[in-house]
Structure 1
């Protein structure tokens, strides 16, 4: 029994040491990113882009669709959603895969403007530190606005305005309910949903279900959009 406890203690110490190394490396990555470009400079650079769209210029249904599918507790958390992370971890362990990340909109913004898309533990930890920093420095609406202007929509479109003009030949403000809910699903996998309309429609149907669940849409409104999908 004593040998087992000693072995267990050794395993715990090793795991703590490994975790400490990852956290240190992640924090170092976060600090270097901030030292290279402050949040103020990053925000100014993003807002200077010609295709930048203000939140008030976007259809409300589009904004709600993004929140519903990406982070429905966005206005309630402080950058990290423990519930979503737990759900994603359970999903990944159950399916023996790592395809569900549980990242909030704030974390995704941190990744979009400061880090690569590479799936490394250190990068994920740096993303968490940066998410807290963004939440401390920016208002929620500004975080959401910046996220919508730094997401990739496939086919070379890097802002919601570029995507709206590219896919629908219109300014974002004039997107229909069908177009808004379709576009909201593309950034999750732009190389797939930006190319395959059938898969994009499946993603759109998922968004509509969530919008009804979170009371952004009525059943009648959902059915009306589904009629356009066909």
Structure 2
């Protein structure tokens, strides 16, 4: 029994050491990124885009749809959602592979601003530090605004305005509830959910968005059904 306890303690210490190492490496990577170009400068670059769209120019339904399907606890966490991370770890272990990332909207923004798609613990740690920094500097409203102006929607559209114009021929503030909920689902997998690629898959993804909105009480089931029927 003593040997088992010692082994468990040793395993625990190893895990702590490994976690500490990658956290430190992640912090170094975060520092190197902001030393090269500050967060304020990065945000300035985004805002200089002629297609940049402000929070107030976006439909309420679209903003609620994004939060409901991408990061339901967005207004409750400080950049990293420990609950989502724990759930993702559990699901990945059960699946035996990476099936869920647990990234918040703020973490995704951090990745879009500074990091690539590399899947590593070090990069995730750097992303977390960047997310904390973003939350410290900007409001939730601003972070959501920056996010929808930096995500990829497929078909060469890298912000919400270009996607709205490209897919629906409309300015963002003119999108209907149907279009808003469809567009909110695209960034999860643009190569599959872009309306021009596979309309059926895009519709299925939209239905997931609507279910999430109902679950998070942004919509009633009746309102969600009316959105689908009133396309």
TM-score tier after normalising by the smaller chain length: over 0.9
How many Å apart are 1:11 and its aligned residue? 2.9
In the alignment, which residue of structure 1 is the partner of 2:120?
Answer: 120
Q: Does 1:95 align with 2:95?
A: yes
Q: Which residue of 2 aligns with 1:17?
A: 17
What root-mean-square deviation, in Å, do the aligned CA atoms of Structure 1 and Structure 2 show?
1.4
Gap regions ≥5 residues in structure 1: none
| Structure 1 residues 73 and 13, CA gap change in structure 2 (3 angstroms) | closer
Q: TM-score, normalised by structure 1?
A: 0.94
Which residue number corresponds to residue 50 of structure 2? 50
Q: Which 10-residue stretch deviates more, 1-10 or 158-167?
A: 1-10
Q: More displaced, 116-125 or 14-23?
A: 14-23
Could you say if the C-alpha distance between residues 73 and 3 of structure 1 is closer, same or farther in structure 2, counting changes exceeding 3 Å? closer
* SS of the residue 1:184 aligns to: helix
Could you list the structure 1 runs, at least 4 aligned residues long, displaced by more than 6 angstroms after superposition: none
Please give the secondary structure, in 2, of the residue aligned with 1:185: helix
Q: Secondary structure at the match of 2:46?
A: helix
Residue 217 (structure 1) aligns with:
219
1:10 deviation in Å?
3.3
- List per-residue Cα deviations over 1:129-183 (Å, max 9, x = no partner): 1110000011111100000000000111000001001111111111111110000
CA spacing shift, 1:221–1:3, aligned 2, 3 Å: closer
Q: CA deviation at 1:3?
A: 4.0
Q: Quick one: distance in 2 between partners of 1:59 and 1:67? A: 13
The separation in 2 between residues aligned to 1:153 and 1:185, in whole angstroms, is: 9
| Alignment gaps of 5+ in structure 2 | none
